[in-house]
Structure 1
Amino acid sequence: MPSPSAVGERSPFTGLPQDRARPVLAVKIDNVGPARPQTGIDRADLVYVEEVEAGLTRILAVFSGPPADLPDRVGPVRSARESDLELLRQFGRPALAFSGAQSRLLPVIAAAPVHDVSPAHASGAYARDGSRPAPHNLYASPARLLAAAPDASTAHDIGFRFGHAPSGGAAATTRTVRFPAGSAGLRWSAERQRWLVSFDGRPASATGSGQLGAPTVVIQYVTVRTSRYHDRWGSISPYSETVGSGDAEVLRDGKAFRAHWSRPDADGGTRFTTGQGAPMTFARGPVWIVLAPRPS
């Protein structure tokens, strides 16, 4: 896959200048009411929003910046899902921070191309916050997580392209992605030059910062099917398929662009193209990707 954003010049995740490639850390983060506001996700390069049990959502935040850009702590950290492993294969062998998983899934995680930096393998990176109720109170230090995974793969091209917006697009100021038991709302802020995020009708924020948002938000329509696993209450874990192809909507610069996504195999990145087949370019900066259920 050609890379116009050469490592050492610009980040392949954000299109912003970087001095050199940095290791990739993915952190699974809680996204129910008691977990909000979360900590550290305002410093992530990429933020994935995905469906979990009971129609709720959870976040997978991906960091690859220099140490000075990493938050002091991130969380609340929660459990991993099978579909995370497919999603993360395009990053090589990143570090994956999570707190537990369904017992039958643990051997699958152990065999996956990730560096497991859960509390079982990096206990010194985690601490509980007594001001919050369990299980929504486990936080981790990204620096300590990466220290526990010295061989984590570094950031490389995963298919994203950055630059001026393509021609076309329709003026847009709001979008709402609905899940069975929640929603992700998006509102364009011309003042902040980013799409501001809400969850379940309420502005989403991170501790110590304002409302969360990003210059580019991708609504990627995927097949959400049942997996082989379930939670402790018997709810089946959904599996968001990120290998394949489908429709997408890319939000940037106060416009919505119809797009197509394609990822032929799990080891490759995800390409986004316009309706005319040209590369769909993102605005430089953090990118949020909402893995939305494909319309039936």
Structure 2
Amino acid sequence: MGMGREARGRRAATTAALLAATVTAALAAGCTSGGGPPDDGRGSAAASERGASPEATDGSVLAVKIDNAGSARPPTGVDAADVVYVEQVEGGLSRLMAVYATKLPKAVGPVRSARESDLELLRQFDRPTLAFSGAQTKLLPLIDKAPLRAATPGSASEAFFRDPDRSAPHNLYVRPERLVPEAPGRAALTTGFRYGSAPAGGTTTASQTVRYPAARFTFTWSDSRDRWLVGMDGTPATAADGKRMAAATVVVQYVKVRESAFRDFLGNNTPYTETVGSGKAKVLRDGRAYDVNWEREDATDGTAFTTGDGAPVNFAKGQVWVVYTKAP
């Protein structure tokens, strides 16, 4: 429905006041993360005013944006995710997106802000719920138009809480059961991933490292756990309960990472990770590495991984990590 000029003016004034108050508070608290964006409450307030709804229906996955700055570790609930996506953000840092379909942990976090790349990545799912702390004001209209359910502290306050023992902005958590009625099941994971026996060939590999300008991930094979142990910035990565984070399959996917139209409050450009297209990838499973091809023809498609002769590549059963990095 249309909105009168006077009503639009009142709404703009209210939004400006909210943004000004929140940014002032964030700057006063020093809420930055090594060149990354400040606390995202400003985006949450704007998203709430825009009427974002967190309500989900059966069959929808839950995706949560998770802070991965050193001061935000260890994370909570990542070990329960079916898929963990790793992307580069401002200042060469990294951020995680955990996707849940087969089980829901009691809490996930620390929750941080959404990026434009997330919208393209999530198009492969049927109306997913995206839990995040907020977003840049200019990005909010794109989130509104995206086929997803946005859940922020402003639109679903009952689902989020702050940990008083941690400092902002690294202390926001979400309770998944308050956003989705139940785990939708494996059928909701329309990623295009296939599971089964390993392909022929491959190279015995003890570890694989992926470097961003200001972050580093190392995956080390463990025969005893039959998993790839996760390391971040030269340190073993653990969950909040102290257990080592580990993946059954790791995909190092070489993609185009370009500048977007967005910048953080310090002026750093927000990288855009292109997940539609085709290229090369390295699949790690069972202590071996396989050089493969990837293709995602449309944003609504999952990603297909194939060998040089076009045969589908199966993943090992269990959690999958997908690390997006610039093509060499």
Tell me, yes or no, whether TM beats 0.5.
yes
Query: 1:139, CA displacement in angstroms?
Result: 0.4
Distance (whole Å) between structure 2 residues aligned to residue 254 and residue 76 of structure 1: 31
Distance (whole Å) between structure 1 residues aligned to residue 183 and residue 215 of structure 2: 37
Q: Which of 269, 281, 290 is matched with 2:302 structurally?
A: 269
Distance (whole Å) between structure 2 residues aligned to residue 290 and residue 228 of structure 1: 23
Give the equivalent residue in structure 1 for 2:87: 50
Give the equivalent residue in structure 2 for 1:210: 243
Query: 1:28, CA displacement in angstroms?
Result: 0.1
Relative contact order: is structure 1 or structure 2 higher (C-alpha 8 Å, sep ≥ 6)?
1
Distance (whole Å) between structure 2 residues aligned to residue 62 and residue 26 of structure 1: 4
Query: 1:293, CA displacement in angstroms?
Result: 1.4
Distance (whole Å) between structure 1 residues aligned to residue 63 and residue 76 of structure 2: 14
SS at 2:108 equivalent: coil
- Return the letter of the residue paired with 1:235: N
1:94·1:154 contact (CA, 8 Å) conserved in 2? Answer: no
SS at 1:91 equivalent: coil
1:76 is aligned to 2:110:
yes
Q: Deviations over 1:147-202 (max 9, x none)?
A: 5x999x97043211110101100000111001011111110001000101111111
SS at 2:147 equivalent: coil
1:30 is aligned to 2:103:
no
Give the equivalent residue in structure 1 for 2:287: 254
Distance (whole Å) between structure 1 residues aligned to residue 309 and residue 183 of structure 2: 42
1:63 is aligned to 2:100:
yes
Give the equivalent residue in structure 2 for 1:121: 155
Distance (whole Å) between structure 2 residues aligned to residue 22 and residue 88 of structure 1: 14
Which segments of 5 or more consecutive residues in structure 2 lack a partner in the other structure? 1-57
Q: Which deviates the most, 240-249 or 111-120? A: 111-120
Distance (whole Å) between structure 1 residues aligned to residue 261 and residue 187 of structure 2: 31
1:95 is aligned to 2:129:
yes
Query: 1:210, CA displacement in angstroms?
Result: 1.1
Query: 1:209, CA displacement in angstroms?
Result: 4.2
- Return the letter of the residue paired with 1:102: Q
The number of residue pairs the alignment matches comes to: 270
In our comparison, the structure showing a higher alpha carbon Rg is 2
Query: 1:23, CA displacement in angstroms?
Result: 2.9
Higher percent of residues as helix: 2
1:108 is aligned to 2:142:
yes
Query: 1:46, CA displacement in angstroms?
Result: 0.3
Query: 1:92, CA displacement in angstroms?
Result: 2.0
Trace 1:273-292 onto structure 2 (pairs within 5 A). 273-292=306-325
Distance (whole Å) between structure 1 residues aligned to residue 301 and residue 200 of structure 2: 27
4+ aligned runs moved over 6 Å, structure 1 = none
Query: 1:119, CA displacement in angstroms?
Result: 1.3
- Return the letter of the residue paired with 2:111: V
Identity of aligned residues (%): 56
Give the equivalent residue in structure 2 for 1:130: 164
- Return the letter of the residue paired with 1:232: F
- Return the letter of the residue paired with 2:314: T
1:30·1:77 contact (CA, 8 Å) conserved in 2? Answer: yes
- Return the letter of the residue paired with 1:171: T
Distance (whole Å) between structure 1 residues aligned to residue 156 and residue 123 of structure 2: 21
Q: Residues 290 and 125 from structure 1, CA distance in 2 versus in 1: closer, same or farther, beyond 3 angstroms?
A: same
Distance (whole Å) between structure 2 residues aligned to residue 58 and residue 231 of structure 1: 15
Q: Residues 154 and 98 from structure 1, CA distance in 2 versus in 1: closer, same or farther, beyond 3 angstroms?
A: farther
2:60·2:126 contact (CA, 8 Å) conserved in 1? Answer: no
Which segments of 5 or more consecutive residues in structure 1 lack a partner in the other structure? 1-20
1:219 is aligned to 2:252:
yes
Distance (whole Å) between structure 2 residues aligned to residue 25 and residue 128 of structure 1: 20
Normalising by the residue count of structure 1, what TM-score does the alignment of the two structures yield? 0.88
SS at 1:42 equivalent: helix
Q: Residues 105 and 154 from structure 1, CA distance in 2 versus in 1: closer, same or farther, beyond 3 angstroms?
A: farther
Trace 1:140-219 onto structure 2 (pairs within 5 A). 140-147=174-181, 155-219=188-252
SS at 2:321 equivalent: strand
2:212·2:325 contact (CA, 8 Å) conserved in 1? Answer: yes
- Return the letter of the residue paired with 1:26: A
Give the equivalent residue in structure 2 for 1:10: none
1:23·1:154 contact (CA, 8 Å) conserved in 2? Answer: no
